[in-house]
């Protein structure tokens, strides 16, 4: 309605302008006609020329009035949509010149989601962030503010940095990359200064993405016993994250593989309040990743077979595998990549990097029984390389809920023992978690008398339940071997 009113006012002004020019021109000509003998000089003729120009301009604007209206409407729209930009400008105005005078520079990411395979679930989580950076007005009109921080959690090599670059590439915004170690300085105050400079640069370039890799290097839980450089840097990071709103156009993405060591203040609502877990790729993910890496390469590789042989490989390891195979192909003056090249590259990875979980068929079967048992007891989705299972997380847990969490931790060990008739050392962290919960039940909450008795009772109950359902465990094991994941629908 406001736009229609502006258009009517504009049209009315055109008419008044044209009428004024015509009337003035008639009066001027009449004056010259009556007093022509007294006219001296060229001033009258300059005046009449000006009136002709005014009349011509009015007629021209009348003819082009649609374009003029569009121009004014566009300006009005720009003013209406500039609320977001005004907030950014105000934010930039508060930034000190000292913080801007740093060597921290943004990069433009040319990576998009199509360049990262096997992240469909993660992509859905991050599409909101991309859409907010591209269309902030849609959210701001509804008073919606996106999380200030997104924490990517997962083991090394699963592509956390690549995912962050893909978000920046999809949103087409500046990407500020810093590692957590870059904030750890020898001199007091330098780490905090670098944090201020990073956020100042990002606010100046907003909308933008700040990515802090390996944030655990600077974000470890504070001890409270000292005020060292790392803690002052962490305090500055917390302050900076509190210093901008969800509509500031700056979103912080961080990555870690040790979320348990992070300070609680970083994980509270209003900071890194959205967590995205990035796990090792399952069988379908690996197929997509290998197909992506082999696109445009001349090869005679059986991808289906290779997918089954690379259980436990991260996306980075798969990239290295293909790259090493290509190097071997070039070394032997070949033009087609084949399975021999892959075998040589795989041997290099297997014997050169002991930390990789490269499983043979027997090892994969044992791990599948372990995870299938946890899936059966917890009735939740479990992947082959999940390091833990979903727990009950109650503010005021009952005795039954605490015991259920112990059951979920111990289910894998007992399941393998029941099916294989032998104990296997698989994941010590599950044992430690079960033991800690049992100690809390006995020593902190005083719900039981003995840790050993409690754990023994739970183990015996698990043996009985899993023995009675051994066929179901084997069925889930086969699903895990085939798909490397058991969903709720499979249970």
342 φ/ψ angles, rounded to the nearest 5 degrees: -65, -40
Question: Please, are residues 265 and 238 in contact by the beta-carbon 8 Å criterion?
Answer: yes
Question: Please, are residues 370 and 474 in contact by the beta-carbon 8 Å criterion?
Answer: no
Exposure string for 257-288, b = 16+ CB within 10 A, e = fewer: bebeebbebbeeeebbebebebbbbbbebbbb
Which of residues 7 and 307 earns the better pLDDT score?
307
Q: Tell me how far apart the alpha carbons of residues 157 and 353 are, in angstroms, rounded to a whole number.
A: 13
Q: Tell me how far apart the alpha carbons of residues 55 and 20 are, in angstroms, rounded to a whole number.
A: 8
DSSP secondary structure, 347-401, as one string: HHHHHH-TTS----HHHHHHHHHHHHHHHHHH-S-EETT-SS------SS--HHH
Which of residues 45 and 178 earns the better pLDDT score?
178
Tokens of residue 126, six digits: 């991050």
Distances (CA, A) of 169 to 93, 94, 111, 127, 166: 27, 28, 5, 12, 5
Of the ranges 7-21, 143-157, 282-296, 444-458, the best mean pLDDT one: 444-458
DSSP secondary structure, 242-308, as one string: HTS-TTSSEEEEEEES-GGGB-HHHHSTTSS-EEEE-----HHHHHHHHHHHTTT--B---HHHHHH
Q: Tell me how far apart the alpha carbons of residues 407 and 417 are, in angstroms, rounded to a whole number.
A: 15
Q: Tell me how far apart the alpha carbons of residues 294 and 286 are, in angstroms, rounded to a whole number.
A: 12
User: pLDDT by residue (tens digit) across 17-44?
Assistant: 666 666 666 666 666 665 554 555 555 5
Which of residues 437 and 127 earns the better pLDDT score?
437
pLDDT of residue 466: 93
Mean pLDDT of 245-260: 78
pLDDT of residue 2: 44
19 φ/ψ angles, rounded to the nearest 5 degrees: -65, -40
pLDDT of residue 340: 87
Which of residues 171 and 6 earns the better pLDDT score?
171
pTM: 0.61
The total of other beta-carbon atoms located within 10 Å of residue 143's CB is: 8
Decide if pLDDT at 253 tops 50: yes
pLDDT of residue 354: 42
Distances (CA, A) of 479 to 115, 482, 483, 484: 29, 5, 6, 7
Q: Tell me how far apart the alpha carbons of residues 81 and 7 are, in angstroms, rounded to a whole number.
A: 20
Q: Tell me how far apart the alpha carbons of residues 52 and 236 are, in angstroms, rounded to a whole number.
A: 68
CA-angle at 109, arms to 184 and 143, nearest 5°: 85
């Amino acid at each position: 309605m406001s736009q229609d009113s502006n258009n009517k006012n504009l049209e009315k002004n055109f008419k008044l302008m044209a009428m004024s020019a015509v009337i003035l021109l008639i009066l001027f000509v009449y004056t010259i006609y009556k007093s022509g003998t007294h006219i001296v000089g060229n001033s009258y003729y300059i005046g009449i020329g000006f009136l002709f120009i005014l009349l011509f301009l009015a007629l021209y604007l009348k003819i082009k009035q649609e374009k003029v209206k569009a121009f004014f409407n566009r300006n009005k729209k720009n003013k209406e949509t500039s609320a977001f930009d005004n907030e950014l400008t105000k934010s930039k105005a508060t930034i000190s010149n000292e913080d801007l005078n740093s060597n921290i520079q943004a990069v433009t990411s040319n990576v998009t989601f199509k360049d990262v395979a096997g992240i469909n679930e993660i992509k859905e989580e991050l599409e909101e962030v991309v859409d907010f950076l591209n269309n902030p007005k849609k959210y701001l009109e509804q008073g919606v503010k996106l999380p200030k921080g997104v924490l990517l959690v997962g083991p090394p090599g699963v592509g956390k940095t690549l995912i962050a670059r893909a978000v920046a590439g999809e949103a087409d915004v500046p990407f500020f990359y810093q590692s957590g170690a870059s904030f750890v300085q020898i001199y007091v105050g330098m780490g905090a200064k670098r944090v201020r400079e990073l956020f100042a640069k990002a606010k100046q370039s907003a909308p933008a993405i700040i990515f802090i890799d390996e944030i655990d290097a600077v974000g470890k839980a504070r001890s409270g016993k000292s005020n060292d450089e790392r803690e002052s840097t962490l305090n500055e990071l917390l302050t900076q994250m509190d210093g901008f709103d969800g509509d500031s156009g700056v979103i912080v993405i961080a990555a870690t593989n040790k979320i348990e060591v992070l300070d609680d203040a970083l994980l509270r609502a209003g900071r890194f309040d959205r967590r995205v877990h990035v796990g090792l790729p399952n069988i379908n993910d690996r197929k997509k990743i290998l197909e992506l890496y082999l696109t445009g390469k001349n090869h005679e590789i059986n991808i289906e077979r290779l997918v089954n042989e690379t259980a436990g490989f991260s996306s980075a390891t798969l990239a290295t595998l293909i790259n090493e195979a290509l190097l071997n192909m070039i070394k032997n003056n070949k033009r087609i990549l084949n399975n021999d090249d892959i075998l040589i590259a795989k041997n290099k990875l297997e014997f050169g990097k002991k930390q990789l979980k490269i499983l043979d068929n027997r090892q994969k079967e044992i791990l599948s029984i372990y995870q299938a048992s946890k899936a059966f007891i917890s009735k939740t989705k479990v992947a082959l390389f999940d390091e833990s299972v979903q727990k009950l997380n109650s503010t005021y847990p009952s005795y039954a809920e605490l015991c259920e969490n112990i059951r979920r931790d111990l289910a894998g060990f007992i399941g393998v023992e029941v099916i294989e008739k032998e104990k296997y050392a698989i994941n010590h962290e599950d044992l430690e978690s079960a033991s800690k919960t049992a100690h809390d039940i006995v020593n902190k909450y005083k719900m039981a008398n003995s840790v050993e008795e409690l754990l023994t009772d739970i183990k015996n109950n698990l043996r009985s339940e899993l023995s009675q359902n051994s066929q179901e465990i084997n069925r889930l094991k086969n699903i895990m071997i085939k798909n490397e994941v058991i969903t709720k629908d499979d249970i």
